[in-house]
Structure formats: structure tokens, C-alpha cells
């Protein structure tokens, strides 16, 4: 086998496994999508049916039973709201730690990351009581606060690693030209790391959109996002897979379309940086 | 029009709008937390009828998965958050929460006709003779079987057959090569899953959860005999992977024609006889649950019910809603709109006396018989200190029941022996009861 043939073979193998992994990851979504067009009986039939007469009944049932737009609006407001606030806090925090580190910076970063290791249910009761006492239960503001806090560690970590990759000489040059720390951040660091900030923001939006634990525990009728809508279709006594799949398809659609348009930035941002 | 006239018109319009807004705002809004069961969804759809009858009350719905609902309403009620004005609870929670003053008593005055509610259901939802949750639909458990398969096998199923006979029928109809399994039963771990069924089976084998001193009895000969019988029955004649099956999985199997027999909630009768859902709708027979040494506690009793948390600020509106949703008139409304086979059952005597319901629901008689034969206050052969057929109405039971369910499910899956499973469950239950200060 010549070197060229070896290279081609390697590419073929890598391509095959990439497609295999992609298909494995995509299969549950594909199955959910086709199940949403089945009747409840077809959805549970064994062996599973691949060819069937599709029906839109499940979508009309979901539309009739749930206020989809209200849930979707709650998801949009809480995901984007929490991401914007987290970026407003996270960018200066990561900037200061990346460009003016102290001997405790590493400890602070590790401590922030350690908060992600605590199971959320461990702090459910204190947070629930705090929310109750401050009138934040079942409110969008409450969810925005909890989503912001939930995503801050990961946002700061990601931004920190992007900022660390920027050459210090550029900042020194800016200082030589009389730039203040504010100018440095706004006119030098941010324009240079806009790709990283965008991908961090996108990741945060996706994490907020998919969040279910706090959404289910801290909301009821007013602020419940799409994840709560999906959960409402699970039934202890009765067939529900087709309707649940329709609700999930509707809930996934906006973020999938959004991700489709932004995938270039997302991949670029996630693969950019020294620690990747 | 001069400026004065314009201003006057503007003021008048603003004033009228303000009055209308005030009027709209004056309507009381109540939030109802419920589970995604067919009857509950129907109630949700019929809400406009309620709002038409009571224009001052608006109803908002929060539908949750059963486990999440339990967690959310418990959190809400224990912390007095007042998120919900009406909550859907079961027969397990009603007496426990009523004892702690977490619930408001149901207003049964006037034309509500509380005497019409089935006595066993009323008793299970009462604390010190006061009703704390109004039943929306009730259920017991019974045998659902394929008449065609049983007949072809030359067998017969009757009310209250012995467990030995049921095992023989399961063996006779078991035909895995044609995708038919003799017996489908719950195997998935959980106090409301496999242990709901297992408790009734153990009751009929003469077992009890606790003795008179609240000591767990899971290592008794009766429990061992019942769990061994159950594991053996499912391993020989059950579907593959039975340890992960619960109500919905067995419903799917039965509707697909893959179960010879299925013992589960009576509510399933309306699903398995519905041709839109079931491939074997015209071949289903019903019989009372089997027994071994006693008929006591051989079938469970449960009611999904509506209750009012003590912390609600809209108690009057909540009472009005519950009285409407659990009334005879509501059942009549559903019957007239959706057909009498679709009405919520297991709550009122008048439903079973209604000729339209009798004609529409082939399972009516079997269901009523099962519900009436269950007695939560006397469900074990030997004396026991607790109330409840398939559970013991004490706060510690959820954890004890779920741990025991995990062990029994493990024994069914073959990861441990029945003796090991019951020993571990008993040790765990004993620890919990000691910690809770029962002895």
C-alpha cells in the first residue's frame, strides 16, 4: 500500500467512524421526530414500525392542551436573559483573572468550578425557601437568576481560557498608546475574542434551554419553560409516547434551528483556545 | 370638538377601561396542580364550562409527571408557599397531611351529596371522619385476561381464584414462540409500582408490613412465600425484562395482544377495551384478584383526589372548583359530552347505578366489586397498626416501600435471592422505623 493509499484509507476509516458516531447521536432525535407522527398504538408497537401513515394529531393535541407560545417565550426570555447577565458579569471577571492574576486566582477558579460538582438537589430546599421568601417562585426573574448562577462558573472558565490566549504584547501596546483598562477591555480584548464570547454565549443559551431540574421545581403556571411543558406529557396511567414526542419535537425545534445557523461560530469557538 | 370635550371623552374612556380592568382583575385565579391522566386532561378541557358557570373564577393548570407532582406539591405544602390552590393527591397523602393540618377540609355541605361517594374511598380520604380530599377517580386492582386464549387453552378464570389456579392458567396460555406471555405484572421498583401489586399479593398470602409494635415483618414466612411465588411466576411465564415493567409497559404489551393475563389497576379496563388503543379490545375478560390464604387486602384501593392546601389564599374559589369537578353533575357532563365509557369512575354510587354507564362500560360491575371489597382499615390477616391496603399510611412508608421495591425487583432480575432481598429490605426498614422513633 502506497503512502497515498494509506492516507486515503485512514481518511475513509475516520470518516466512517465520524458518521457512525454522528448517526448514533442523531438516532434518538430522529426516532423522537418520527414517533411524533405516529398514533399511540404505533408508537408502542413491537417490533417498532418504520413505515406508517403519518398523522398530525399529536401536534394538534399539544397545541390544544398546552400554551406552546407562552412556554416558548419563557424559554427564550430566561435563556437569553440569563446568558446576557452571565456574560456581563463573566467578561470582567474572566478579564481581571486573565490579565491581573493574583496568587489566589487559581484557587478562585477551582472553587467556582467546584460549585458545579454539587448535586443541584442538595441545595433545593434552601433555594426554594429563599425564592419563596423573596416572591421569586414561578417568576421569570427567579429563573433568570438561577440560570445565571448555574452557568457563571462555566462561562468564566471558558472566557478565562480565551483571554489567556491573547498575546499580552497587544495589551502592552495599547497601554503605550494611552489606553485605560476600560479601553483595553472594550477596544482590544472584546473585539479580539468575539468568537469565543459568542460560542460561550451560545453554549450558555443551550444549557439554559435544556435545563429541567430548577425549571420543574421553581415554576408552576406562569414562568414554566418548554422543559416543563415536555414533562407534563408523561403519564403514570395511559399511553403517552407519541404526544410526548410531539411536545419534545416542538420544544427542540427553535434551539435546533438556532444552533443550525450558529454552528459555524459554535464549532469555531469551542475548538479555539489553548486549553482545547 | 374642543379640547374640553376631547379631554372629557378621554377621561370617560380611561375611567371605563379602568373599571373594566378592575372588574377583570377582580376574578379570582386558582392554580390546579395535576397529573397527566386521561380523566384529568378531560377535566382541563371542560374548564370553560366551569368558568361559564362561575365567571368570577379563572382556572390555571399545571400538569406534571407523577413523581414531580408529588415532589412539588409536598414542597409547596410543607413550606406553605401557596403556589397551588388545588392539588391532586392520592389516598396515601390525604390522611398524613390532614393530621399535620396541611390541608383544608372539603366543604361537603348543601347539594354535594357526600353520602353518594363510595364508602371505602370516602374512608380512605378522611381523617377523624372529616373528608380532606375529594375523589376525582378511584381504582382498585383486578385480573384482566384474554378470553380467547384462556378458552383455547381449555381453562377458566373466575372471581377470586386461588393463586395456584392463576399460575396454572398462566402456564397453559404461555406461548412465547408466538409472542404471548402467560402473565404480565409490575416489576419496576417503586412503592407505587411493583410494591403496590406485591403488597396486595403478600396480603393474600397472610403477610403484613408491620406487626402491632411497628416492627417490619419482611422476613416472615408469608413474605418469603409470596415473593418466591411472584418471582417464579414471572420468570416462568412473564415477558422478558419484566423487572422494568410497570403500568404503561404492561398496558402496551396487553394492548398488543402479548399478555394472557394482567393484574393491575381497574382504570386499565377502559383502555384495554377501547378499540382505538387495543388490538384485543373485544376479547378482554375481568375477574376479582386471586388469593392464597385470605381474601383480605387481595386488591388495592387508590383514588386520585383534589385537595386544598392550608396556605392557599383562594380557599373559597378552590372549594367551588373541587365541588364542581367531583360532583355528580360533572360526571353527567362528561358522559353527555364524551360518552359514558369515558366518565371518571370509582367515586360515586350513582355512576354505577346509571343505566347509561352500565350499558357503556363492560367493566363496571367488576370494578365496583373490587373497590367495594377493599378495606384500608382491615387489609391483613394478622392484626396490623396501619391503615392502607397497598401501603401503610405513615410518612416513612415511601422510603421503605421504594427500598423494598428495589430489592424485590433485584430478586426478579436475578441479581440476588429472594431471601437476601427481603433480609436487606427488612434491615433497611428496621433502621428507618428506629430512627423515626417508633420503638
pTM, to two decimals? 0.82
Task: Return the DSSP state at A185.
Answer: I
Decide if pLDDT at B242 tops 60. Answer: yes
CATH of domain A67-271: 1.10.3720.10
Listed residue (B319, B345, B334, B307) closest to B110, CA to CA: B319
pLDDT in tens, A152-184: 999 999 999 888 888 888 888 888 888 888 888
Could you give the CA distance from residue B352 to residue B330 in angstroms, rounded to a whole number? 15
pLDDT in tens, A244-274: 999 999 998 888 888 888 777 777 666 655 4
Q: Where are the domains of chain A?
A: 67-271
Could you give the CA distance from residue B374 to residue B388 in angstroms, rounded to a whole number? 9
Length of chain B: 439
| Residue in A closest to B41 by C-alpha | A65
Q: How far away is chain B from the Cα of A65, in angstroms, using its nearest Cα?
A: 8
HSE-CB at A31 with a 13 A cutoff on CA atoms is 11
Q: What is the predicted pLDDT for the residue at A272?
A: 59
Q: Residue B71: is it exposed, middle or buried by C-beta count within 10 angstroms (0-12/13-18/19+)?
A: middle
Q: What is the predicted pLDDT for the residue at B11?
A: 45
Decide if pLDDT at A14 tops 90. Answer: yes
Task: Return the DSSP state at A274.
Answer: T
- B257 Rama sector, left if φ>0, alpha if ψ -120 to 50, beta otherwise: left
pLDDT in tens, A197-247: 988 999 999 999 999 999 999 998 899 999 999 988 887 777 788 999 999
CB B251 to CB A239 under 8 A?
Answer: yes
For residue B330, what are the contacts with CB-CB under 8 A and spacing of at least 6?
B43, B46, B324
| Mean residue pLDDT across chain B | 91
Could you give the CA distance from residue B196 to residue A236 in angstroms, rounded to a whole number? 13
Q: What is the predicted pLDDT for the residue at B10?
A: 52
pLDDT in tens, B150-202: 999 999 999 999 999 999 999 999 999 999 999 999 999 999 999 999 999 99
Decide if pLDDT at B348 tops 50. Answer: yes
Could you give the CA distance from residue B57 to residue B63 in angstroms, rounded to a whole number? 19
Q: What is the predicted pLDDT for the residue at A93?
A: 94
Q: Where are the domains of chain B?
A: 26-138+301-360, 141-300+376-435
HSE-CB at B7 with a 13 A cutoff on CA atoms is 3
CB A232 to CB B64 under 8 A?
Answer: yes
Write the residue in A137, A231, A238 that is nearest to B38 by C-beta.
A238
Output the CA–CA distances (angstroms, integers) from residue A71 to A18, A230, B40, B214, in the order listed: 35, 10, 20, 47
Beta-carbon contacts below 8 Å between A and B: 91
For residue B144, what are the contacts with CB-CB under 8 A and spacing of at least 6?
B254, B261, B262, B263, B264, B268, B269, B272, B284, B285, B286
Q: What is the predicted pLDDT for the residue at B26?
A: 61
Could you give the CA distance from residue B311 to residue B102 in angstroms, rounded to a whole number? 8
pLDDT in tens, B42-90: 899 999 999 999 999 999 999 888 888 888 888 888 888 888 999 999 9
**Helical residues (DSSP H) of chain A, grouped into ranges:** 3-35, 40-44, 57-65, 68-99, 105-114, 124-133, 140-164, 168-176, 181-183, 190-192, 194-210, 213-218, 226-231, 241-271
B340 and B356 Cβ atoms separated by less than 8 Å: yes
Task: Return the DSSP state at B105.
Answer: P
Could you give the CA distance from residue A216 to residue A225 in angstroms, rounded to a whole number? 9
Q: Tell me which residues of chain B have a C-beta less than 8 Å from any C-beta of chain A.
A: 31, 33, 35-38, 41, 44-45, 60-66, 68, 71-72, 75, 79, 81, 83-84, 192, 247-248, 251-253, 255-256, 258, 265, 267-268, 271, 276-277, 279
Question: What proportion of chain B, given as a percentage, has pLDDT over 90?
Answer: 79
In degrees, rounded to 5, the angle at the alpha carbon of residue A133 between the alpha carbons of residues A131 and A137 is 35
CA A118 to chain centre: 19
CATH of domain B141-300+376-435: 3.40.190.10
Tell me the CA end-to-end span of chain A in Å, nearest whole number.
34
CA B277 to chain centre: 21
CB B36 to CB A221 under 8 A?
Answer: no
Which grid coordinates are listed for A144? 433568570
CB < 8 Å to B81, chain A: 128, 132, 137
Could you give the CA distance from residue A71 to residue A250 in angstroms, rounded to a whole number? 11
Q: What is the predicted pLDDT for the residue at B294?
A: 96
Q: What is the predicted pLDDT for the residue at B15?
A: 41
Res. A65 pLDDT band, cuts 50 70 90: confident
In this prediction, residues B118-133 reach a mean pLDDT of 93
**Helical residues (DSSP H) of B205-246, grouped into ranges:** 221-237
Q: What is the predicted pLDDT for the residue at B6?
A: 54
Q: What is the predicted pLDDT for the residue at A165?
A: 84
CB B72 to CB A40 under 8 A?
Answer: no
Identify the CATH class of B26-138+301-360: alpha beta
HSE-CB at B407 with a 13 A cutoff on CA atoms is 26
In degrees, rounded to 5, the angle at the alpha carbon of residue A245 between the alpha carbons of residues A240 and A250 is 130
pLDDT in tens, B77-124: 888 888 899 999 999 999 999 999 999 999 999 899 999 999 999 999
Q: Do the domains spanning B26-138+301-360 and B141-300+376-435 agree at the CATH topology level?
A: yes
In this prediction, residues B263-286 reach a mean pLDDT of 91
- The helix-helix angle for A241-271 and A68-99 (nearest 10°) equals 20
Which grid coordinates are listed for A128? 426554594
Listed residue (A210, A217, A222) closest to A71, CA to CA: A222
ipTM > 0.90?
A: no
Output the CA–CA distances (angstroms, integers) from residue B279 to A45, B11, B254, B378, in the order listed: 11, 67, 9, 38
For B286, the enclosing helix (H) or strand (E) is: strand B284-288
Task: Give CA torsion, residues B363, B367, B368, B372, to 10 deg.
Answer: 160
Res. A4 pLDDT band, cuts 50 70 90: confident
Q: What is the predicted pLDDT for the residue at A215?
A: 94
Decide if pLDDT at B288 tops 60. Answer: yes
Q: What is the predicted pLDDT for the residue at B265?
A: 94
Mutate to test the interface with B, among A237, A239, A248 (most CBs of B within 10 A): A237
Could you give the CA distance from residue B373 to residue B101 in angstroms, rounded to a whole number? 30
Amino acid at each position: 500500500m502506497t503512502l497515498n493509499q494509506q492516507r486515503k484509507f485512514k481518511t475513509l476509516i475516520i470518516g466512517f467512524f465520524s458518521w457512525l458516531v454522528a448517526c448514533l447521536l442523531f438516532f434518538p432525535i430522529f426516532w423522537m421526530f418520527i414517533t411524533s407522527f405516529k398514533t399511540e398504538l404505533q408508537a408502542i408497537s413491537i417490533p417498532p414500525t418504520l413505515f406508517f401513515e403519518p398523522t398530525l394529531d399529536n401536534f394538534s393535541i399539544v397545541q390544544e392542551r398546552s400554551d406552546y407560545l407562552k412556554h416558548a417565550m419563557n424559554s427564550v426570555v430566561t435563556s437569553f436573559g440569563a446568558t446576557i447577565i452571565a456574560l456581563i458579569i463573566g467578561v470582567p471577571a474572566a478579564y481581571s483573572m486573565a490579565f491581573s492574576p493574583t496568587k489566589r486566582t487559581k484557587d478562585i477558579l477551582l472553587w467556582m468550578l467546584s460549585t458545579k460538582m454539587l448535586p443541584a438537589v442538595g441545595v433545593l430546599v434552601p433555594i426554594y425557601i429563599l425564592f419563596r421568601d423573596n416572591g421569586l417562585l414561578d417568576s421569570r426573574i427567579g429563573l433568570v437568576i438561577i440560570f445565571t448562577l448555574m452557568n457563571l462558573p462555566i462561562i468564566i472558565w471558558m472566557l478565562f481560557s480565551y483571554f489567556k490566549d491573547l498575546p499580552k504584547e497587544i495589551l502592552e501596546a495599547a497601554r503605550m498608546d494611552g489606553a485605560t483598562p476600560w479601553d483595553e477591555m472594550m477596544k482590544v480584548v472584546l473585539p479580539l475574542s468575539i468568537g469565543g464570547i459568542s460560542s460561550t454565549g451560545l453554549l450558555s443559551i443551550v444549557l439554559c434551554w435544556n435545563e429541567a431540574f430548577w425549571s420543574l421545581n421553581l415554576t408552576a403556571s406562569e414562568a414554566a419553560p418548554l422543559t416543563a411543558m415536555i414533562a407534563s406529557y408523561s403519564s403514570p396511567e395511559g399511553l403517552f409516547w407519541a404526544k410526548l414526542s410531539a411536545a419534545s419535537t416542538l420544544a427542540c425545534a427553535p434551539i435546533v434551528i438556532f444552533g443550525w445557523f450558529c454552528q459555524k461560530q459554535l464549532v469555531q469557538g469551542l475548538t479555539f483556545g489553548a486549553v482545547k | 370638538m374642543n379640547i374640553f370635550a376631547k379631554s372629557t371623552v378621554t377621561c370617560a374612556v380611561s375611567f371605563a377601561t379602568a373599571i373594566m380592568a378592575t372588574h377583570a382583575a377582580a376574578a379570582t385565579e386558582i392554580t390546579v396542580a395535576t397529573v397527566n391522566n386521561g380523566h384529568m386532561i378531560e377535566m382541563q378541557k371542560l374548564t370553560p364550562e366551569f368558568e361559564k358557570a362561575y365567571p368570577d373564577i379563572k382556572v390555571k393548570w399545571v400538569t406534571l409527571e407523577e413523581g414531580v407532582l408529588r415532589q412539588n406539591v409536598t414542597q409547596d405544602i410543607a413550606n406553605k408557599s401557596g403556589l397551588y390552590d388545588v392539588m391532586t393527591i392520592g389516598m396515601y397523602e390525604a390522611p398524613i397531611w390532614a393530621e399535620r393540618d396541611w390541608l383544608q377540609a372539603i366543604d361537603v355541605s348543601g347539594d354535594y351529596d357526600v353520602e353518594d361517594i363510595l364508602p371505602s374511598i370516602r374512608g380512605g380520604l378522611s381523617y377523624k371522619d372529616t373528608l380532606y380530599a375529594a375523589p376525582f377517580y378511584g381504582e382498585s386492582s383486578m385480573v384482566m385476561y384474554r378470553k380467547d386464549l384462556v378458552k383455547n387453552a381449555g381453562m377458566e378464570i373466575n372471581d377470586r381464584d386461588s393463586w395456584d389456579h392463576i399460575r396454572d392458567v398462566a402456564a397453559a396460555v404461555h406461548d412465547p414462540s408466538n409472542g404471548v406471555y402467560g402473565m404480565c405484572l409490575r416489576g419496576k421498583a417503586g412503592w407505587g409500582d411493583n410494591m403496590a401489586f406485591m403488597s396486595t399479593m403478600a396480603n393474600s398470602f397472610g403477610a403484613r408490613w408491620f406487626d402491632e409494635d411497628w416492627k417490619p415483618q419482611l422476613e416472615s414466612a408469608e413474605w418469603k412465600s409470596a415473593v418466591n411465588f411472584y418471582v417464579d411466576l414471572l420468570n416462568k411465564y412473564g415477558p422478558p425484562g419484566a423487572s422494568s415493567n410497570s403500568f404503561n409497559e404492561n398496558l402496551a404489551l396487553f394492548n398488543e395482544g402479548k399478555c394472557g393475563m394482567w393484574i393491575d389497576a381497574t382504570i386499565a379496563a377502559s383502555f384495554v377495551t377501547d378499540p382505538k388503543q387495543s388490538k384485543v379490545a373485544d376479547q378482554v375478560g375481568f375477574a376479582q384478584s386471586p388469593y392464597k390464604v385470605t381474601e383480605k387486602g387481595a386488591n388495592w384501593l387508590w383514588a386520585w383526589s383534589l385537595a386544598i392546601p392550608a396556605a392557599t389564599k383562594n380557599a373559597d374559589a378552590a372549594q367551588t372548583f373541587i365541588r364542581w369537578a367531583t360532583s355528580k353533575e360533572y360526571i353527567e357532563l362528561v358522559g353527555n359530552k364524551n360518552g359514558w365509557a369515558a366518565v371518571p369512575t370509582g367515586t360515586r354510587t350513582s355512576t354505577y347505578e346509571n343505566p347509561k354507564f352500565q350499558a357503556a362500560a363492560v367493566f363496571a360491575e367488576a370494578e365496583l366489586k373490587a373497590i367495594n371489597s377493599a378495606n384500608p382499615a382491615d387489609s391483613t390477616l394478622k392484626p396490623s397498626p396501619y391503615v392502607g391496603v397497598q401501603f401503610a399510611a405513615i410518612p416513612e412508608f415511601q422510603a421503605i416501600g421504594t427500598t423494598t421495591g428495589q430489592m424485590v425487583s433485584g430478586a426478579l432480575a436475578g441479581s440476588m435471592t429472594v431471601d437476601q432481598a427481603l433480609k436487606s429490605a427488612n434491615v433497611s426498614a428496621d433502621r428507618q422505623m428506629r430512627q423515626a422513633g417508633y420503638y
